[in-house]
Amino acid sequence: MRLPLLALLLWAAPAWAAEPAVVGPAKARPHTLVRLSVADLCERAAVVWDVHPEGRADVEQCAPGKVVLTGPPGEYSVKVLVIELTADGSPKVTTLRHKFVIGDPEPVPPPVPPVPPTPPSALRVKLQAAFAADVTPPTAAARDAARKDLAVLWKKGAELTTDPGVTTTAQLLDRMRQAGTFLVGADALPATRKAVGEFLAAELSADRPLDAATRARAAAMFREVADALSW
């Protein structure tokens, strides 16, 4: 339904009217009101305000073409739609934009660089090479299962170092060899088990009493072996 001619004349913006523009500060102090308005606004124009970030600021339209708002420190942008009727009765929509800052926005934290993967220990590299050379048990699945069993064995072996009934390094290593034979068999993973023995021989080869320091060192080495076998 078309409006009567008189209404068109009342609503229409004059041809010589200046283009509307947003008037407001580029920066405001925290905890103060920010006043924005549309200058050179036609009397009967409709104005739609859209403030971003959405929901961050409290906005109130106090008069046609005017708003006041407040919000926490940060950067804000305003999109304003000005809707007018031209002399021929067709709607004219003008989009206006304005940006402002309240206070000093929090600096954007630098991106956290990814944590580089921890390189494998020298012992793991040695055991992986030995494991790759092993051919018994005959299947890859069986060899992998035996490797995992040995990892569990050496992890539990760290508890054996505190056994008062085990009094020398020779007894300790012999108990571990017997447990390994029972768990995976005497012939399983010979190259891998030899590499483990070479690592332990560096500090536990001599048959000596298990004092507190030696027990602690043996436990640490057993845990290191267990970790190196856990890939």
For the chain, the straight-line distance linking the first and the last C-alpha, in angstroms and rounded, comes to 78
2 confidence band (pLDDT: 50, 70, 90): very low
pLDDT exceeds cutoff 90 at 95: yes
Q: Is 184 exposed, middle or buried (0-12, 13-18, 19+ CB in 10 A)?
A: buried
Largest CA distance in the chain: 114
Tokens of 152: 């569990």
Query: Which amino acid type is present at position 208?
Result: R
**C-alpha to C-alpha distance for 50 and 25, rounded to whole angstroms:** 17
**C-alpha to C-alpha distance for 74 and 59, rounded to whole angstroms:** 15
4 confidence band (pLDDT: 50, 70, 90): very low
Give 149-191 pLDDT, tens digit per residue: 999 999 999 999 999 999 999 999 999 999 999 999 999 999 9
pLDDT exceeds cutoff 60 at 1: no
Give 200-220 pLDDT, tens digit per residue: 999 998 889 999 999 999 999
Average of per-residue pLDDT values in the chain? 89
Q: Quick one: the chain helix, strand, coil %, rounded to 5?
A: 40, 25, 40
**C-alpha to C-alpha distance for 74 and 99, rounded to whole angstroms:** 11
Give 123-156 pLDDT, tens digit per residue: 999 999 999 999 999 999 999 999 999 999 999 9
